Amino acid sequence: MKVYGLIGYPLSHSFSKGFFAEKFAREGIQGCVYDSFSLPAITALADLIAKYGTELNGLNVTIPYKEAVIPYLDELSPAAAKMKAVNCIRFINGRKIGHNTDAIGFRRSLEPLLLPHHNKALVLGTGGAAKAVQYVLEALNIPYQLVSRQAGAHSIAYENITAEVIATHTLIINTTPLGMYPNVDAAPALPYDLMNEKHLLYDLVYNPAITTFLQKGADGGARIKNGHEMLILQAEASWEIWNETV
């Protein structure tokens, strides 16, 4: 039996287990199982690996361990090393190799939506998911400004977002869990009334399908996209990595 799964905490919001169960059934993939492993601390990863041994072929990694998992790995892909964030682990010949398929899924989902005037971005949040978004924006030559609850060396605070910032940054990407079920009324503190049809709002959250962040943008005429397609694309990319021939 080949075991795959998802680690994070908590995992009540995850779609991965159902996605892979459907994939295995639809594509006639046998001898494989995908499960959710809720780990209260990343230190529990060692016990999980010991429990399944050589049967463990791959793991996905979600909040809050995309950065914390790195010291437990033997190697990083070049992209994961640059991002300093991992959401996919391949186990091969006793080695744990970290990859990042968030960037793959995000780029494949975002690119078809971009118009020439989407030439500056606001990235809401500075966690592991934001690292993948930054990596993609840099690859696409789109300058970005990080936004956090408190201003930092490389980020501004929400209260520093002026009318000019909103007008010039027409691509706005939410990488925070704000608005995720069950806290569906939460949303980043932005001047939504200044948004218009030139704006593209992308939310990595996918449950609910239309977050308060997206709805407020749409009310002003902005185009919107949630993270469901990105999630499917990154999951498929994980499967490709786990099954690459060596």
Largest CA distance in the chain: 56
Task: Give pLDDT, residue 13.
Answer: 65
* Residue 208 belongs to some domain of the structure: yes
Q: Give the domain extent around 19.
A: 2-100
**Peptide bond between residue 177 and the one before it cis (omega within 30 degrees of 0):** no
pLDDT of residue 246: 64
CATH number at residue 193: 3.40.50.720
Indicate if 225 and 116 belong to the same structural domain: yes
pLDDT tens per residue, range 104-125 = 999 999 999 999 999 999 999 9
Q: 8: which strand partners?
A: 38
Pair (122, 93) in one structural domain: no
Cα–Cα distance between 193 and 119 in angstroms, integer? 21
pLDDT of residue 245: 81
Residue 245 lies in a domain: no
Question: Contacts for 235-238 with beta carbons within 8 Å, 24 or more apart?
Answer: 235/16, 235/19, 235/20, 235/60, 235/101, 235/105, 237/88, 237/101, 237/104, 237/105, 238/58, 238/60, 238/87, 238/88, 238/99, 238/101
The whole-chain average pLDDT of the chain stands at: 96
Domain boundary, last residue among 38, 71, 100: 100
Residue 220 has pLDDT above 80, yes or no: yes
Residue closest to 171 by CA, chosen among 147, 201, 127, 196: 201
The pLDDT tens digits for 44-78 are 999 999 999 999 999 999 989 999 999 999 999 99
Residue where a domain stops, chosen among 42, 69, 100: 100
Collapse the DSSP code of 24 into the 3-class scheme (helix H, G, I; strand E, B; otherwise coil) and give the result. Answer: helix
Domain count, the chain: 2
Indicate whether 15 pLDDT > 90.
no
Taking residues 161-183, report their average pLDDT.
96
pLDDT tens-digit readout, 190-212? 999 999 999 999 999 999 999 99
Does the annotation count 66 as an active-site position? yes
pLDDT at 128: 82
3-state SS class at 173: strand
CATH number, domain with residue 50: 3.40.50.10860
**Could you tell me if 40 and 109 lie in one domain?**
no
If asked whether residues 55 and 156 sit together in one domain, one would say: no
Q: Are residues 168 and 213 in the same domain?
A: yes
- Together in a domain, 74 and 124: no
Catalytic choice (2, 51, 66, 84):
66
Q: How confident is the model at residue 147 (pLDDT cuts 50, 70, 90)?
A: very high
Distances (CA, A) of 210 to 12, 218, 221: 19, 10, 14
